[in-house]
Amino acid sequence: MTQVIYKGPLEGGRSHGFGEAVYPNGEKYEGNFVYGIREGKGKFTYKDSSTYDGDWKNDKPHGEGVQVWPDGRIYAGTFVEGEPTGRGQLRKPDGTIWEGNWIKGRLEGRGKHIMPDGSFYEGNYLNHREHGKGIFMGPLVREGKERVQYDGEWADGKKQGHGKYVFDDGAIYEGGWIDDQMDGDGTFIYTDGSKYEGKFVKGKRNGYGVFNFKNGDVFRGTWKDSKPFGKGSMNYSDGSVYEGSWENGKRHGDGELRGPHGEKYIGQFVDDCMEGQGTMFYPDKTTFEGEFRSDSRHGQGILTTPDLIYEGGWVDNKKEGEGILTFLPHGHKFKGIWKEGLIVGQGVLIFRDGSRWNDPRL
């Protein structure tokens, strides 16, 4: 077939009125003609078996119509010069629906996207992507779970700008977003009642922030990968306060820990424990300056009380090895060896004038 086969009325040798035309490539039009041009109501069957049924103008779909593709997609709405433009709805066989304002086959302006699982987006579009203000609602979920939802700003199909997100466990985040991730200043309220206010980077707590724990503890300081890292302070629910360095969520480096009863430690920490060089101040004016390990006096150190001074070795908070006791206020000294906090073997008593007394019983 090399020419159009037309059945219908003619006017001046051209198709005019309601007729049927079969084209050389097998495509077919059945509908109204105006002096050889498809215009008015008509149905067109394309060579790929897709169809358009609706209004025509100047040989192109123009006005209200329905287009059906071989894969089952259906668009019903407004066309302009052959392309979906204006209000319309596109459906897919799997239940996916796009509806709203179209420009040249793409959503532009207000629109809605409904997904097969029941989740949907409703808001602004740019070039068929979520862009501007919009709301996303996740799929309907089983009992005991929240429906995920996001209400905020979008850019190029991703959460971008400021928005509020409700997680399926009931947790809530409100703040900045970049590329679908929490990023910038934000507030996260956890299901157990804990709350974080501060900086996020790529979905994690990074930068300065304040975390209120469910047990009453409060951390203020810098974060890295959602853990305290760098400088920060922790106010514990028992009244203790730590100010200093953190690493991977633990006290690590130089810091100061003040206890609820007036005790205070200034020194080094390792993995949340007092470890390394430090000084402990007790409410009764006792002090210890020296080495610590796993929160205990361990190594060399000086213990000073109102009545005496001990300088020597320690193991697990007990005097161990060689040491010297100085008795206050007169200054007499005892030099000896300790084991598990007790004197063992022979010691030497050194008086303030330098004289010595050795006694096997000491």
Give the start-to-end residue ranges of the domains of the chain: 1-79, 284-362
Fold of 1-79: 2.20.110
Q: What is the C-alpha to C-alpha distance for residues 173 and 196, in angstroms, rounded to an integer?
A: 9
Model confidence at 345, pLDDT cuts 50, 70, 90, reads confident
Answer yes or no: is pLDDT of 303 > 90: yes
pLDDT for the residue numbered 360: 53
- Provide the pLDDT confidence category of residue 229 given band limits of 50, 70 and 90: very high
* pLDDT number for residue 359: 58
Average pLDDT over residues 89-104: 98
- If pLDDT is split at 50, 70 and 90, which confidence band does 252 have? very high
Q: Is the pLDDT of residue 1 over 70?
A: no
Least confident of 95-104, 276-285, 338-347: 338-347
Residue 352 confidence class, pLDDT cut points 50, 70, 90: confident
- What one-letter code names the amino acid at 354? G
Mean pLDDT score, 179-192: 98
Kindly state the average pLDDT of the residues 205-234. Answer: 98
Whether the pLDDT of residue 14 is over 90: the answer is yes
Residue 68: both structure tokens together: 């059906």
Share the mean pLDDT of the chain: 96
Instruction: Give the long-range contacts of residues 293-296, CB within 8 A, separation 24 or more.
Output: none
Q: How confident is the model at residue 355 (pLDDT cuts 50, 70, 90)?
A: confident
- The pLDDT value recorded for residue 346 is 87
Residue 223 parent element (H or E): strand 218-224
CA nearest to 323, candidates 304, 347, 289, 305: 347
Report how far residue 200's alpha carbon sits from residue 198's, in angstroms, rounded to the nearest whole number. 7
How far, in Å, are 87, 145, 146 from residue 142 at the CA level? 35, 6, 8
Whole-model pTM? 0.86
Number of helices and strands (H, E) in the chain?
Answer: 0, 33
* Residue 362 confidence (pLDDT) above 50: no
- Enter the tokens of residue 123: 């808001």
Average pLDDT of the residues in 127-155? 92
